[in-house]
Structure 1
Amino acid sequence: MTAEVLVNVTPSETRVAIVENGILQEIHIERESRRGLVGNVYVGKVNRVLPGMQAAFVDIGLEKAAFLHASDIFQKDCADEGAPAKDITQLVRQGQYIMVQVLKDPLGTKGARLTTEISIPSRYLVLMPRSEHVGVSQRIETEEERDRLRTLATDYSDNDVGFIVRTAAEKVTEEELAEDAKFLRRLWAKIQERRKKKSKGGVLYEDLGLAARVLRDMVGITVERVRIDSRLAFQELTDFVESFIPELVSKLEVYDGERPIFDLFDVENEIQRALNRHVTLKSGGSLIIDQTEAMTTIDINTGAFVGHRNLADTIFNTNIEATQAIARQLRLRNLGGIIIVDFIDMQNEDHRRRVLHSLEQALNKDRARTTISGFTSLGLVEVTRKRTRESLEHVLASECPVCHGRGSIKTVETVSYEIMREIVRVNRAYDADEFIVYASSAVAERLLNEETHALAELEMFVGKKVKVQVEPLYSQEQFDVVMM
C-alpha cells in the first residue's frame, strides 16, 4: 500500500491529507486555537472524587474538568491478573496533585479522558514508565521476528520502565531499536525533572505537531512523497525525519505550484463531500451516514442499481461495494465508537459470510483499532472503532442554530397552526385589542394565502383583529404574537 502525503500549513491551521492510489483516504486537521491533547502529560489537581461512578474529575487547566476512571489509574499491586482493583477513594483524594496523560480529547459536552498509566511513543517503541511489561505489536505476525524484538525490548527494560514494540519496528536493526530506547529514556527523565519543579498543575510533555505525528504513525504504508506548501514547516519536518525516520528525508519536498496544494487529487471537494449524509456508490447505490452522540449508523440502499441477473445478486454486489466505501468513510470522517451498519437484507448465508469477510479485509487497512461483530438477528453489523480525536464533522461544523441538531425543521403548515393556537392561548390569559404576528416570510405568506379563511374564522372566534407582519431575520420556526 503506497501513499502520498500533502501538508497544507497556514498560521492558524495545519491540514494533512493521505492519498492512496489517487484517492483521499484520511484528512487530519489541527488548529492552533484547538490543538489536540491526546498524548500530552500534565500535573493535574483532583477536584472531585465520585465513589458512585468510581471516577474523579481532574483540573488540568482546560475549560472543562477532565475525567479519570478508577480502571485508568495505575495500580502496581493490582497488576497481577485476578487481584481485586482498589476503590477510587483508596487511589486518589480531593486536592491531590497527580501526573496524568490525555487518552481522549474533549468530545462534545464531555471533558478529556485521562489515565495515570503514562506511555511515551517514538518511531519503533512505546515507553511504559513504572511498568516491567514488554509487548510486541500483534500486527507483526512472524513468530521468529516477534521473539527477536521481545528479547531486545526486554534488554532495554528494567524494574521501572517497560517497552511495547510498535509495528514499524519489524526488521529494524538492533542499533536502531537501542537508539530509540535511549531517546525515550532521556525524554522520560526530562518529564520527571519537570514534575519535581511543578508543585502545582501544568504541562509536562506535549506530543509532536500534526504533520510529524502523522508521519511517525504511518505504519504499514509506503510513502511515495511528502509535499509541504510551507518552507518553514518543510524545514521543521526535515529536522524531525532526519532524527527519527531517515528513510523519508529524500521524499520530502516543498510544493510551490500555482494551484493550492489541496486542489491536487480534488482534496478540497472530497472534504466537502465528507460532510454530507449521502455517499453515492459507483453502481448507483448509496450510503446514508448519520452521526449521533451515542453511535453512528450507516444504511445501504440499492438506489438506481438494478443488476444484471437477479435480486439476490444485485443486493450482494451492492453490499460488497458498500464494504469498501464504509471502510474509507470511517477513516476519512474519523468516525469512532459504536458504528451500526444496516446492510440490505440477504437471505443467502454464504452472501452474508462473504460480505462480512469483505468488510474485515477493507478495515484491515485502517490504522485505528476496529472490531466487527457478526450479523445480529435483525441483520445489523456492529463495528467499534477506537476514538481518540474528534470526527471531521465535529472539527469543521457546529450544531445548526435553526434545528438545534435535529436535522429537520417544522413545516410552514405546522408553524402556522402553532401561531393560531398561541393567539387563542394569549387571548384567554390577557385582555388585548388586537394581535400582531411577526413571522418568517414563508409562514406569513401561508397565513395570508392558504390559511386566510382559517385566520378569518380565528378573528371571529377571539373577537379581535389579527395582523401578520414579515420579520426577515426570523427562521421558519420563529414567531412572536404581540398584543396591542
Structure 2
Amino acid sequence: MPKKHEEILINVTPQETRVAIVEQGVVQELHIERNTSLGLVGNVYRGTVCRVLPGMQSAFVDIGLARAAFLHVADVLECTKTDHEKQIQEVLREGQSVTVQVIKEPIGTKGARLTTQLSIAGRFLVFLPQQCHIGVSQRIEDEAEREYLKERLISLLPENHEGGYIIRTMSETATDEELLSDIEYVQKVWSNVQVSSKTAAARSLVFQDLNLPMRILRDIVNKSTDRILVDSRETYEGLLEFSEHYAECAVKRLEHYQGNRPLFDTHHVEQEIAKAMSRKVELKCGGYLIIDQTEALTTVDVNTGGFVNGRNLADTIFKTNLEACQCIARQLRLRNLGGIIIIDFIDMEDDEQRMTVLNELKRVMANDRARIGINGFSALGLVEMTRKRTRESLSHILSESCPCCKGTGALKTAQTVCYEILRELLRHSKQFSAREYRVLASQKVIDLLMDEEAQSLANLSDFIGKPISLKAETQYPQELFDIVLM
C-alpha cells in the first residue's frame, strides 16, 4: 500500500482559525473556529439543573450558554454505575448543582449535549477519572494488539492508580516515555479540574479544552503527516512550545508559512470551500451527486448525467456508482455531514454489483475519523448509514437561511462576507498598487464593517498602509461585493 501523504494547513486571522487537512494533494477536511463561537466539546462546567423530564428520562442544565444544555439518563454517571438502572428523577432535581462536560456542540436549534461521566483527552490516552476499567479504541480491531496495549498500559501505571483509561489509536506507535508523559498530562489536568470545580460559581466554566490548532496536534497529527503549515507566527510559536511537551512528533513537521500568496490559496482550499457550499458535485465520469441536508437527515442522490460510455447501461450505472462512493466519502468529511445519511445509488439489478458497491463504500469510509455505521441496501434500493456528529456542518457555520426564499436556500452570513472582504483586501494589497481601496457591498455587510469589524478594518488599513473606504450598494445581495482600486 503506498504511503499516505498528509499536510495540515492552519490559517489564523484575528477573527477565526481555519484548518484544512490535505491528503494526497486533495482537501479532505475543514475545521473552523471563530472567536465569537469557540468550540465547546471537552469543556467542563458547573451547571444548574433547570428542568427534569421523567417522561424523556432527561434533564436540561443551565451552564451559562444562550440555550440550556441537554443531559440524558444514559450520560448520568449515578444512573449507569449501579446494578439496577436508576431513573433520572432519582438522582437529579431542579436547582441542583452538577459538574458536566460537553460531548456535542449546539447544533441548529438544539442545545449542547452533556455528560456527568467526565473524561480528559490526551494524545495517546483518554483518562476516565470516575471509572476503573481500561478500554481500547474500537478502531483497533486486532484482538492480540488490543490485549497487548492493555497489558502495556497496566505495566506503566502505578499500583495504587485511580481512574480508568481508553487507549487511543495513536498509542500503537507510542513509546513508553510518550505514554508516561501522557499519563502525567491527563492527571495534571484532572487535578486542576478538581481544584477549580470546588470554587466554581453556578453556570460557570471549570475547564476549557485546547484551542483548535492544539486539538489538531493532539488528535490528528500522526506518522502520515508530512508537514504542518501555519501562517501566524504567534500561533506557530505557541504550537512549537506545545509540541515540545505534548506532541514531539509534530516539532519537526511544523513550519511557519511566510509566502506572498495566502496559505489556503496555495492548495486551492478557498475553491474547495466554495464548491462544498453547492448541492451539486460533479463526478469525473460525467455523473453527479445532489446533496441535501435537512434537520432530520442528509440525502445523497447519485445520477449518471452525461455519462453514456461503456458497453451497456448496466456497465455505465455500475461505474458511476463505484466512483460515487469515493466522492461521497470525501464530501461527508469535507462538509462534516453527520447523523442519518441516506444514499440513493442508481438502481442496479445485479446483486454482485450491489455488493461490490457496498463494499467499496465501506472501504473508502474507513479513512473517516468519525464513527461510521453502514447498513446494506434496503428494499427500496437505498443505503442507510450514520456518521457521528459532534459539531456543526460546514454549511451551517458559513451560511444562514435566506430571508428571500424563506429557508429553501442558503447564503453566506454577513460575517463570513466581511471576513472574505478582509482577506480579499489583503490579497489585493499584495498584488496591486493603489492610493485607496473602496469596498462596495450590501448595506448589512457595510454596517458590520463599520460596527463590529471596525477595529479589524482599521488594523488592516494600518497594516497595508492605505486607506479603505466603504460604500453601501442597496441593489447588492448579501454575498456580493466589489473592491475598487482608487
TM-score range, shorter chain: 0.7 to 0.9
Residue 48 of structure 1 aligns with an amino acid whose one-letter code is R
Percent identical: 53
Change (3 A) 1:274 1:352: same
Aligned pair partner of 1:342 in 332, 344, 356? 344
Q: Any conservation in 1 of the 2:222–2:249 contact (CA below 8 Å)?
A: no
Residue 111 of structure 2 aligns with an amino acid whose one-letter code is G
Q: Does 1:24 align with 2:35?
A: no
Structure 2 CA distance, aligned partners of 1:261 and 1:28? 15
Structure 1 CA distance, aligned partners of 2:393 and 2:202? 33
CA deviation digits over 1:182-238, x for unaligned, max 9? Answer: 211111011001111124231111111111112221166611111111100000110
Q: Any conservation in 1 of the 2:217–2:250 contact (CA below 8 Å)?
A: no
Structure 1 CA distance, aligned partners of 2:219 and 2:31? 13
What is the TM-score with the length of structure 1 in the denominator? 0.82
Correspondences of 1:65-104 after superposition (within 5 Å): 65-75=68-78, 78-79=80-81, 83-104=83-104
Q: Any conservation in 2 of the 1:2–1:221 contact (CA below 8 Å)?
A: no
Aligned pair partner of 1:333 in 313, 316, 335? 335
Change (3 A) 1:184 1:229: same
Decide which moves more: 393-402 or 178-187.
Answer: 178-187
Residue 75 of structure 1 aligns with an amino acid whose one-letter code is E
Unaligned 5+ residue runs, structure 2? 411-473, 478-486
Report what 1:252 is aligned to.
254
Q: Any conservation in 1 of the 2:6–2:23 contact (CA below 8 Å)?
A: yes
Report what 2:388 is aligned to.
386
Structure 1 CA distance, aligned partners of 2:96 and 2:328? 45
Report what 1:117 is aligned to.
117
Report what 2:154 is aligned to.
154
Q: Any conservation in 1 of the 2:125–2:166 contact (CA below 8 Å)?
A: yes
CA deviation digits over 1:82-108, x for unaligned, max 9? Answer: x43211111211111101000111111
Structure number with greater Rg is 1
CA deviation digits over 1:256-314, x for unaligned, max 9? Answer: 11111110121101001000000000000000000000000000000000022111110
Tell me by how many angstroms 1:340 deviates.
0.2
Tell me by how many angstroms 1:240 deviates.
1.3
Q: Does 1:10 align with 2:13?
A: yes
Correspondences of 1:17-416 after superposition (within 5 Å): 17-75=20-78, 78-79=80-81, 83-155=83-155, 156=157, 160-218=162-220, 222-407=224-409
Secondary structure of 1:191's partner? helix
Report what 2:417 is aligned to.
none
Q: Any conservation in 1 of the 2:221–2:250 contact (CA below 8 Å)?
A: no
Residue 97 of structure 2 aligns with an amino acid whose one-letter code is Y
Residue 353 of structure 1 aligns with an amino acid whose one-letter code is M
Report what 1:451 is aligned to.
none
The RMSD of aligned alpha carbons is 1.9
CA deviation digits over 1:417-468, x for unaligned, max 9? Answer: xxxxxxxxxxxxxxxxxxxxxxxxxxxxxxxxxxxxxxxxxxxxxxxxxxxx
Tell me by how many angstroms 1:133 deviates.
1.4
Secondary structure of 1:215's partner? helix
Structure 2 CA distance, aligned partners of 1:24 and 1:175? 34
Q: Any conservation in 2 of the 1:39–1:101 contact (CA below 8 Å)?
A: yes
Secondary structure of 1:163's partner? strand
Q: Any conservation in 2 of the 1:122–1:216 contact (CA below 8 Å)?
A: yes
Secondary structure of 2:267's partner? helix
Secondary structure of 1:283's partner? coil
Q: Any conservation in 1 of the 2:231–2:258 contact (CA below 8 Å)?
A: yes
Residue 177 of structure 1 aligns with an amino acid whose one-letter code is L
CA deviation digits over 1:300-344, x for unaligned, max 9? Answer: 000000022111110000000000000000000000000000000
Secondary structure of 1:338's partner? strand
Residue 256 of structure 1 aligns with an amino acid whose one-letter code is Q
Decide which moves more: 315-324 or 251-260.
Answer: 251-260
Q: Any conservation in 1 of the 2:181–2:246 contact (CA below 8 Å)?
A: no
For this pair of structures, how many residues does the alignment match? Answer: 409
Q: Any conservation in 2 of the 1:130–1:159 contact (CA below 8 Å)?
A: no
Residue 4 of structure 1 aligns with an amino acid whose one-letter code is E
Structure 1 CA distance, aligned partners of 2:48 and 2:289? 45
Residue 272 of structure 1 aligns with an amino acid whose one-letter code is A
Residue 23 of structure 2 aligns with an amino acid whose one-letter code is E
Secondary structure of 1:346's partner? coil
Decide which moves more: 155-164 or 340-349.
Answer: 155-164
Structure 2 CA distance, aligned partners of 1:219 and 1:371? 24
Tell me by how many angstroms 1:160 deviates.
4.1
Secondary structure of 1:61's partner? coil
Change (3 A) 1:159 1:224: closer
Residue 21 of structure 1 aligns with an amino acid whose one-letter code is Q
Tell me by how many angstroms 1:142 deviates.
4.1
Q: Any conservation in 2 of the 1:238–1:252 contact (CA below 8 Å)?
A: yes
Structure 2 CA distance, aligned partners of 1:219 and 1:363? 19
Q: Any conservation in 1 of the 2:401–2:409 contact (CA below 8 Å)?
A: no
Structure 2 CA distance, aligned partners of 1:221 and 1:23? 18
Secondary structure of 2:400's partner? coil
